[in-house]
Amino acid sequence: MSDNQCFHCGLQVSARDTLHLDGKSFCCNGCRTVYEIFTAGGLSHYYDFQKTPGAVPLSDTSKYEFLANEAIVETLLEFNESGSCIVSLHIPHIHCSSCIWILENLRKLRPGILSSQVNFHEKKVRVHFHSADISLKEVVTLLSTIGYEPNISLGDYDNPGKTADRSLTYKLGIAFFCFGNIMLLSFPEYFEHHEFWLDRYRSFFRWLIFLLSLPSFLYSASGYYRAAWQSLRAKMLNIEVPIALGIIVMFVRSVADLISDHGPGFFDSMTGLIFFMLLGKMFQAKTYKFLNFERDFKSYFPIAVTRKSERGGEENVPVYDLGKGDRLLIRNHEIIPADGILISESAAIDYSFVTGEALPVSKSSGDRLFAGGRLSGAMVEMEVIKPVSQSYLTQLWGNKVFSKQQSHDFETITNRISHYFTPVLLLIALSGWGYWIRLDSDTAFNVFTAVLIVACPCALALTAPFTLGNILRIMGRHKFYLKNTMAIEQLSKIDTIVFDKTGTITTTKAAIVYSGNPLAPHTVAVASLLRQSGHPFSRMLYDHLGKGANLSVEGYEEIPGRGISGRVAGCTIQIGSPAYVGLDENEDSLQSVVCIAVDGSYFGKFTIRNQYRPEAAALFASLGKNYNLKILSGDNEGERPYLEQLVPTGTEVIFNRKPQEKLSYIESLQLQGHRVMMVGDGLNDAGALMQSHVGVAISENTNVFSPACDAILDALEFGRLEKFLKLSKKAITIIRMSFGLSLAYNVVGLYFAVTGNLLPIVAAIIMPLSTITIISFVTVAGNYAARGLKVRTVSPKRDTHHILPADANIILKMKTTV
């Protein structure tokens, strides 16, 4: 480990800022404190499982003051009886064995915690504690202090717990039990070995097999009967129709053979078919259980907020209890929960997640504030004019696009083929019966049922789930998480891709360009003046002009929305808007600039621009060859010159689009016949993501908030988007090849069936063999198709530290508050 790498979290830190304890380096007091807590509690083995497993802990835990409200706590608890309480908390940072070990040993850190259990896939910890010894607020504070900050949102308040649907698990378990036992009991039948005891008890074992098949036939396969019936009622033919018909015919034929003592029937093949099809469903259902693709604004909002009481005090109340006229206190980085009026003198509001504006918006006393904005800076006071249920953001989410299923008239490849498969299968069965009925009625019955049995589309039904399920798994391994397998088929049909700008093709950092006189003589003086201000731009520049600049400032003055001034090191310095330093008011009106004047004369300026993802240009150039590309942004046109250099010539670039206008634009493209994929990142894109055929949310952290969508793409994998699109097309090709293989098996089976030579041994071999072959083929082919994707072994650092050089005309890459 590097001498300047934090022993707890692994962040790089300069030598002068490094803290030391027990011969180990730490980046901050928080990480060092966590190490001390673990060491004092005898839990230092935390660092033995994995190096630098921790995260920088939360320094301010005041955000959890609302957990002092008993009504809120009662809603969050899963169990509360006689002081014994259980709560499940979502902790995004859970990622390794060290995390599991420390979270399951919380009882050693604080008395009152009885036990804790981690669900790694869902990134949740279930804590059992005694409320007389420790409160829920103290449990959450403890977790935040050691770097495992829980994510508690308004969505948890509205839906504290959901009962998991385990019906598929039960059906699969029963199908496996029936299939396994029937296969074992059927072995003597396969070889027709004559032995006294086998011959004597053959009838008994056949009836035992019949009884074992009933749970699988009646319960495990019930979903296929229901789906087939619904399909027929809708006058459609989906894949469930021939599957249900084949299962029923197989069962009836087997019962008839059993009663007439003509043979053992096809109970083994029937239960095997049901088991493998349910296994394909389970494979698909379990792929991304830990991700949430249906989040709404409630997952972004806090549960409670601080309200000023009539007697002048403060109280934490649920956001749904807010009413018109309430006075709220909003702290730095807190979400504005309702539309209101700013009472304080000034505020900087980050609306990037709601409107798409990249940089904070300055507000003055009396200005209107909209729900969903995040405060950047010192605490402010506001007055509510609309409660949460009537706020702008809630109305946006009330659009009809969020309350209906967006099918876009899309039909899966399996259902398209089933439209032809079912009629052809019935035609062959009836033709075989018509030919043999004139020669031998018994053979005619055997041929009719045998055709329906052997041509039952088990392999056909398994092809798509296993192919797409495998591709789903491969994409997930490369951090492209799709909601379901239908999204892969939708991806393969896309012809138009619409990109949001802010947070999608731009990073969460900004590019700062300085132009003017060399800044070096006044760097420390400018940084010392910036240190006095809490404005986001001031903090950006101060952080990167060199922390530690602390010259005395005389006559400091700050005019909200304009700039700051003061006398430092013998010079009068002004920092702010162009007008504030005496320049033309309209200069750089579309650019975010911070100008500097020294002793009344203009000196230079910082231009703050978006920083585009480094892989964006290459990605657009490649995608532009096969797709129609569009850029749709809620930001102003100040970035147009830079953006047009990034995208292929002729790409439509549209600015100043509100969330509803984004949705309408996607709808207009669809009305023109285009199949649209929308790539966005925030609530302002949510409607467009839902309206599009495939909505892809770019996320810096896939475990925390992302809007409702069809897929979540880790921001680090943005450059691989085209490879994922190509893989979706290859997946459809694999399915078609697999269908051909499946039909080849059906042709062989049909030959034996139509000629009246289908014996139980033949059916028992052909059906399982076809299933195993199909599963093996699609797995190998899927892995081969994905060979171009390589798993990243080292992820690039998201945070970097830069020191401003002494010369002019420089570009800095820095993390903003967006």
More reliable by pLDDT, 275 or 17: 275
Residue 762 confidence (pLDDT): 60
Residue 195 confidence (pLDDT): 65
**Beta-sheet pairing, 327-330 with 304-308:** antiparallel
Q: Which CATH class is domain 516-541+552-612?
A: alpha beta
Residue 806's pLDDT band (boundaries 50, 70, 90)? Answer: very low
- Calculate the alpha carbon distances from 544 to 13, 15, 176, 811 in Å: 14, 17, 62, 12
Q: Where along the chain do the CATH 3.30.70.100 domains lie?
A: 62-152
Residue 497 confidence (pLDDT): 94
Neighbours of 668 (CB within 10 A): 11
Residue 441 confidence (pLDDT): 67
The whole-model pTM stands at 0.63
Residue 628 confidence (pLDDT): 92
Q: Where along the chain do the CATH 3.40.1110.10 domains lie?
A: 516-541+552-612
Q: Are 315 and 306 in contact (CB under 8 A)?
A: yes
d(CA 771, CA 766): 9
Residue 193 confidence (pLDDT): 61
Q: Which of 96-100, 228-232, 491-495, 765-769 tops mean pLDDT?
A: 491-495
pLDDT tens per residue, range 151-178: 776 555 555 445 556 788 889 899 999 9
Residue 405 confidence (pLDDT): 47
Q: Are 367 and 343 in contact (CB under 8 A)?
A: no
- The CA angle 493-499-503, to the nearest 5 degrees, is 135
Residue 413 confidence (pLDDT): 63
More reliable by pLDDT, 212 or 457: 212
Residue 677 confidence (pLDDT): 93
**Is a pLDDT exceeding 70 seen at residue 116?**
yes
**Residue that is written with structure tokens 């006559």 in the block:** 555
Of 207-216, 357-366, 386-395, 674-683, minimum mean pLDDT range: 386-395
d(CA 756, CA 758): 6
Residue 754 confidence (pLDDT): 67
pLDDT tens per residue, range 26-68: 888 888 888 888 888 888 888 888 888 888 787 666 677 778 7
**Is a pLDDT exceeding 70 seen at residue 673?**
yes
**Residue that is written with structure tokens 């004019």 in the block:** 385
Residue 487's pLDDT band (boundaries 50, 70, 90)? Answer: confident
Residue 354 confidence (pLDDT): 59
**Is a pLDDT exceeding 80 seen at residue 816?**
no
Of 77-91, 361-375, 458-472, 604-618, minimum mean pLDDT range: 458-472
Percent of the chain with pLDDT over 90: 9
d(CA 565, CA 529): 7
What rounded mean pLDDT belongs to the chain? 76
For the residues 773-797, what does the mean pLDDT come to?
70
d(CA 155, CA 162): 12
For the residues 111-122, what does the mean pLDDT come to?
84
Residue-wise DSSP of 210-250? HHHHHHIIIIITHHHHHHHHHHHHTT---THHHHHHHHHHH
Residue 545's pLDDT band (boundaries 50, 70, 90)? Answer: confident
Q: 470-475, long-range: CB within 8 Å, 24+ apart, which pairs? A: 470/778, 470/779, 470/782, 470/783, 471/727, 471/728, 471/731, 471/782, 471/785, 471/786, 472/284, 472/287, 472/288, 473/287, 474/727, 474/782, 474/783, 474/786, 474/789, 475/724, 475/727
**Is a pLDDT exceeding 70 seen at residue 301?**
no
- Residue 537: exposed, middle, or buried by beta-carbon count in 10 A (0-12, 13-18, 19+)? buried
More reliable by pLDDT, 618 or 772: 618
- What CATH number is given for 62-152 in this structure? 3.30.70.100
Of 29-38, 239-248, 405-414, 712-721, minimum mean pLDDT range: 405-414
- The CA angle 55-57-62, to the nearest 5 degrees, is 150
Length of the chain: 818
**Is a pLDDT exceeding 50 seen at residue 624?**
yes
**Is a pLDDT exceeding 70 seen at residue 590?**
no
More reliable by pLDDT, 277 or 178: 178
Percent of the chain with pLDDT over 70: 74
d(CA 593, CA 14): 29
Of 92-96, 270-274, 796-800, minimum mean pLDDT range: 796-800
**Is a pLDDT exceeding 60 seen at residue 811?**
no
**Is a pLDDT exceeding 80 seen at residue 281?**
no
**Is a pLDDT exceeding 70 seen at residue 760?**
no
Neighbours of 381 (CB within 10 A): 16
Chain center to CA of 804: 37
d(CA 690, CA 457): 34
Residue 546's pLDDT band (boundaries 50, 70, 90)? Answer: low
d(CA 627, CA 632): 16
pLDDT tens per residue, range 404-418: 444 444 456 666 666
Check residue 379 and report its DSSP letter.
-
301-334+339-385 topology per CATH = 2.70.150
- Calculate the alpha carbon distances from 197 to 193, 304, 441, 465 in Å: 11, 75, 34, 43
More reliable by pLDDT, 733 or 264: 733
Residue 479 confidence (pLDDT): 81
**Is a pLDDT exceeding 60 seen at residue 289?**
no
Residue 726 confidence (pLDDT): 92
Residue 403 confidence (pLDDT): 45
Residue-wise DSSP of 711-749? EEEEGGGGGGHHHHHHHHHHHHHHHHHHHHHHHHHHHHH
636-661 in b/e burial notation, b at 16+ Cβ within 10 A? bebbeeebeebbeeebebebebebee
Residue 99 confidence (pLDDT): 87
Residue 531's pLDDT band (boundaries 50, 70, 90)? Answer: confident
Q: Are 19 and 29 in contact (CB under 8 A)?
A: yes
